[in-house]
Amino acid sequence: MSDKHTCSCGCCENEEHKHDHAEEECSCGCHGEDCGCHDDGCGCHDDACSCHERKEYKGPDISCGCGCCHDDEEESGKELPVIIIGALLFVAGLVIHHTSLPWYISLAVCLAAYLILGVKILLDAAKNLLSGHVLDENFLMGIATIGAFAIGEFPEAVGVMLFFRIGEYFEEKAVEKSRRQIMEAIDLRPETVNLLLGGELTVIPAEKAQVGDLLLVRPGERIPLDGTITEGTSRADTSAINGEPTPLSLVAGDEVVSGWVNISSQLTMRVDKPLSESMVSRILDSVENAAASKPKIDRFISRFARIYTPIVVIIAILTAIIPPLLFNGSWTDWIYTALTFLVMSCPCALVLSVPLAYFAGIGAASRRGILFKGGASIEAMKKIKAVVMDKTGTLTRGSFELKHAEPVTGLTESALLRLCASCESYSTHPVAASILSAARKQGLKLQKPEMVEELAGMGIKAQTNIGEILCGNRRLLVQNGVELPELSDEAGTEVLCAVNKRYAGRLIIDDEIKPEAEAAMAMLKHKGYTTVMLTGDTLESAEAVAADLGIDEVRARLLPQDKLSAMQEVRARRGGVMFVGDGINDAPVLAGADVGAAMGSGADAAIEAADVVFMTSGADAIPQSLAIAAAANSVSMQNVVFALAIKLAVMVLGLCGFASMWAAVFADSGVAMLCVLNSIRVLYKKKGL
């Protein structure tokens, strides 16, 4: 039994992941592959954060906790001068090599260039060699270039190292660019807050603020935590969170979200959520998890590279030995061919191309207020055939207004409204809020219920001094033995009321369709997606909205469990399903869909269950997310096919003696750079489909 090692990256803190490992089994020195946290587990090793071996990701440590992703600006700043100096010496050595000057002058100049450019690669190869991780690109580059020096090909050895470093430089810059798109959201986290306590103002760390604390927010400052305005009126710039350019008016009683900017006047707010649960922290969590969740194709490429690299090394050794021994070939020529084969066989472009394409997709989406919870979520979108949506809060604003009241004979409209508002006074549902708002506008005095029971998908049952009041949909009243009269069908949400098992009337509540919803549905249909609406609302109201938006299928009067069954039925007929919702009752469907997408303004449970979060809460984010995912999936596949095709072609030519070291450089660093540039295109994906 080997010594027990706990993973330093923090992925094995869970007891079920702790195992005994030999330290030499893993290049990071924490554990071996049998614990399951490599590749498919926590995703913090190898290509998930890509900080082990290649160290592409420079910047704050947001993608893994192993501490190797440091923001080393000084090292990054030295990279370009090193490449420039090495390139100048390379050109000088190349010129000298083709003149009549003594060979050792060319060797000296090329050796200087090689050491400037290659010392980092050689040191990395040596470290990996000592840790047992031998067959990586650093090792292949080191062996191939040292071998080139040994057979007198000085300029080619330097050229290989130069273009390899240029490829790494472009790779790092591409990752930094896509990373900056994501980091803009992370920079919204507050360091301190202004705490009001006993009339005195105290500055405390943001993480120390507790629910119920009163905070002062001055003009120009960001709203530090999620909460509610208690005093003051102002306007807020919400664009950093939801992308909306129009400032939002704030008054006492309004809920505010961390990350907004207070524009005009001083505000006092009450903390509703601590820093760990506020919007900016949820954004951060999504970004942290995004790098750890690898798509299937990424995991396949990682495994492929580990099998592929030893095979090409064996082929290179056989190429260098067999022809001279068995067929009297030239040792120099066949060693050169083998070294060329080693250079061109480096799997850099393959291993890099997939994660970078998905990382660019995550960056492009975050710039538009769309948070993918990892590359796996993006990859899953390529099999989507149907987009299934909730109605309220997804396609409509969710800001209901009372359209009219229909009381029974002998009861006034105000009396009916008062009964319903008293019953709904403890509910947070948007329909309940609209009833309470209408009651306040009429100045009605509400009766406080003695007991309230909220029945999911049906409504409210309350006990008052006049007896039992039922307030909800038809299902609620029928299940409680209320005899209903013949009711006309009317567009809108109906709220029925009964007192002591006797029908008292109904309220008709109307909801406004989001202005961008019609164009969003048109874009989805243009690309061949089937659109389906699932709602607990009345069939009349649902069909009216569907007709306005051109939605293909409608299912109404659904309970939460009915929505899940309906979504599964759509998937059985149509194929992969993306479900978009915002309510707590949508959480089971979001979790059960192939891709679940939640509106950022929705319930925490929905956001937690979703694969994608639309911080803008706009319906146009649905086609935008599909477009970005399609671009990322397409680019990743383009990179894989292109890299494999070029490498295989040049490798065959190399084995036949028709490809030089320069062709090998293109097959390795050149192809890697082209894959990087191709991946960057995802960052500039235009809106829509």
Q: For 323-337, how does the pLDDT look when each residue is reduced to its tens digit (9 = 90+)?
A: 888 888 888 888 878
Distance CA 35, CA 412 (A): 69
Half-sphere exposure of 387 (CA within 13 A, CB side): 29
pLDDT on residue 407: 92
Distance CA 433, CA 260 (A): 24
Indicate the angle between helix axes 137-150 and 331-344, nearest 10 degrees.
Answer: 160
pLDDT on residue 242: 53
Whole-number Cα distances in Å, 266 to 130, 226, 232: 60, 17, 6
Least confident range from 189-198, 363-372, 534-543, 659-668: namely 659-668
Q: Mean pLDDT across the stretch 364-383?
A: 83
**Does residue 268 have a pLDDT over 90?**
yes
**Does residue 28 have a pLDDT over 50?**
no
pLDDT: which is higher, 39 or 497? 497
pLDDT on residue 49: 37
Torsion of CA 492, 498, 502, 504, to 10 degrees: -60
Q: State which of 98-102, 304-308, 437-441 shows the largest mean pLDDT.
A: 437-441
pLDDT on residue 38: 39
Distance CA 371, CA 519 (A): 22
Q: State which of 35-39, 229-233, 658-662 shows the largest mean pLDDT.
A: 229-233
Distance CA 39, CA 17 (A): 14
Under the banding of pLDDT at 50, 70 and 90, the label for residue 40 is: very low
Using alpha carbons, select from 363, 500, 337 the residue that is nearest to residue 57. Answer: 363
For the chain, domains (ranges, CATH) are 1-68 (no CATH), 73-183+287-362+630-684 (no CATH), 192-285 (2.70.150.10), 374-397+514-610 (3.40.50.1000), 401-510 (3.40.1110.10)
pLDDT on residue 388: 94
Q: Mean pLDDT across the stretch 408-430?
A: 86
- Contact yes or no for 669/348 (Cβ under 8 A): yes
pLDDT on residue 349: 64
Q: Mean pLDDT across the stretch 620-636?
A: 91
DSSP readout, 377-419? HHHHGGGEEEEEE-STTTTB----EEEEEEEPTT--HHHHHHH
pLDDT on residue 585: 65
Under the banding of pLDDT at 50, 70 and 90, the label for residue 305 is: low
Under the banding of pLDDT at 50, 70 and 90, the label for residue 54 is: very low
Residues forming the active site: 390
pLDDT: which is higher, 110 or 244? 110
Distance CA 620, CA 686 (A): 13
Distance CA 543, CA 529 (A): 19
Distance CA 417, CA 407 (A): 9
**Does residue 271 have a pLDDT over 90?**
yes
Task: Give, as one character, the DSSP assignment of residue 583.
Answer: S
Least confident range from 389-398, 460-469, 542-551, 582-591: namely 582-591
Whole-number Cα distances in Å, 285 to 224, 275, 282: 17, 12, 5
Least confident range from 127-131, 351-355, 633-637: namely 351-355
**Does residue 4 have a pLDDT over 70?**
no
Angle ∠(283,353,336) on CA atoms, nearest 5: 150
Under the banding of pLDDT at 50, 70 and 90, the label for residue 48 is: very low
pLDDT on residue 284: 59
**Does residue 415 have a pLDDT over 60?**
yes
Mean pLDDT (the chain) is 76
| Dihedral pair phi/psi, residue 583, rounded to 5° | -95, 165
pLDDT: which is higher, 276 or 477? 477
pLDDT on residue 650: 77
**Does residue 10 have a pLDDT over 50?**
no
Q: Mean pLDDT across the stretch 355-376?
A: 80
pLDDT on residue 686: 57
pLDDT on residue 501: 92
Under the banding of pLDDT at 50, 70 and 90, the label for residue 520 is: very high
**Does residue 145 have a pLDDT over 50?**
yes
pLDDT on residue 36: 38
pLDDT (tens digit per residue) in 223-261: 889 899 999 988 888 766 654 555 778 889 988 888 788
Distance CA 146, CA 312 (A): 18
pLDDT (tens digit per residue) in 146-176: 777 777 777 877 877 887 787 677 667 655 6
pLDDT (tens digit per residue) in 472-507: 988 899 999 999 988 877 767 789 999 999 999 999
Percent of the chain surpassing pLDDT 70: 73
Q: Mean pLDDT across the stretch 2-26?
A: 37
Encode 546-555: b = buried (16+ Cβ within 10 Å), e = exposed. Answer: beebebbbbb
Q: State which of 68-72, 425-429, 603-607 shows the largest mean pLDDT.
A: 425-429
Least confident range from 9-23, 447-461, 466-480, 586-600: namely 9-23
**Sheet architecture: strand order including 401-407:** 401-407, 502-510, 493-499, 467-472, 459-464, 451-455
